[in-house]
Amino acid sequence: MAEELIGNTEYSTYSFSELEEEVKDLIKKAEQACDTSYSPYSNFQVGAAVLLENGEVVTGSNQENSSFPAGLCAERVALFFIGANYAGKKIKKVAVTAKRKGESEFVPVTPCGGCRQVLLETETRQESNINVIIQSSYNQWVITKSTKVLLPFCFNKHSL
Ligand code: THU
């Protein structure tokens, strides 16, 4: 099977204090984005912050709907906004954070399967790696080398 389908398993883990300032800043922006979540059904507030190659940061949050499948995850809100408004701008890093409504503590979260697929398509399309930054447990942060780390044996355009 071709390497691009298998993906790789390269990632590193850090405590918060070990992270680069740029990454800490991205995490903080993702945390702030949780405040814009519209999640009256799950009460689970997710924030995504995306660092573009020009240094700009674009954020997204989950937007739910009474017709449940019509809602959209924070990551896809941010990625599709970038696709529509920053065409051709490459993405360097994506940080994802979450908290339960009414609580101040952030909880570990990783992108859902659908968002992993969209992250992968974005990376494939821009032909350069995206680092995904997620909290895996208390004070433990994972930075992946590529989106493929989250989606081994993936389906992508090379499968067609
Ligand atoms: N959610 C996200 O925003 N991103 C993910 O990767 C996981 C799930 C949202 C969707 C829904 O609004 C809520 O979290 C509960 O599933």
Residue 31 in any domain: the answer is: yes
- Give the pLDDT of residue 147: 96
Ligand 1 midpoint to CA 1 (Å): 32
Question: Shortest CA distance to 76 belongs to which of 129, 116, 128?
Answer: 116
Residue 3 in any domain: the answer is: no
- Give the pLDDT of residue 156: 85
Averaged pLDDT of the chain: 94
CATH number assigned to the domain comprising residue 54? 3.40.140.10
Residue 76 pLDDT exceeds 80: yes
pLDDT exceeding 70 applies to what percent of the chain? 95
- Give the pLDDT of residue 84: 98
Q: Is 147 helix (H, G, I), strand (E, B) or coil?
A: helix
DSSP run (H or E) holding 107: strand 106-107
Is 105 a residue of the active site?
no
- Give the pLDDT of residue 3: 52
**What mean pLDDT is predicted for residues 121-147?**
96
- Give the pLDDT of residue 1: 42
Q: How far apart are CA 5 and CA 155, in angstroms?
A: 7
Domain span holding position 73 = 10-159
Residue 5 in any domain: the answer is: no
Amino acid identity for residue 85 in this structure: N
Q: Report pTM.
A: 0.94
**What mean pLDDT is predicted for residues 73-97?**
98
| Total structural domains within the chain | 1
Ligand 1 midpoint to CA 2 (Å): 31
**What mean pLDDT is predicted for residues 52-65?**
98
Residue 2 in any domain: the answer is: no
Q: How far apart are CA 36 and CA 121, in angstroms?
A: 26
**What mean pLDDT is predicted for residues 17-25?**
98
* Nearest Cα residue to atom 6 of ligand 1: 111
- The pLDDT tens digits of the residues spanning 107-133 come to 999 999 999 999 999 999 999 999 999
Catalytic residue selected from 31, 64, 75, 123: 75
Residue 4 in any domain: the answer is: no
Q: Is 136 helix (H, G, I), strand (E, B) or coil?
A: strand
- 99 backbone dihedrals φ, ψ, rounded to 5°: -150, 160
Distance in angstroms between the alpha carbons of the first and the last residue of the chain: 14
CA neighbours closer than 13 Å in the CB half-sphere of residue 72? 12
- The pLDDT tens digits of the residues spanning 3-16 come to 555 556 799 999 99
Residue 1 in any domain: the answer is: no
Site residues for ligand 1, CB cut-off 6 Å: 39, 42, 44, 46, 62, 64, 71, 73-75, 111-112, 115
Q: Which two tokens stand for residue 83?
A: 């696709």
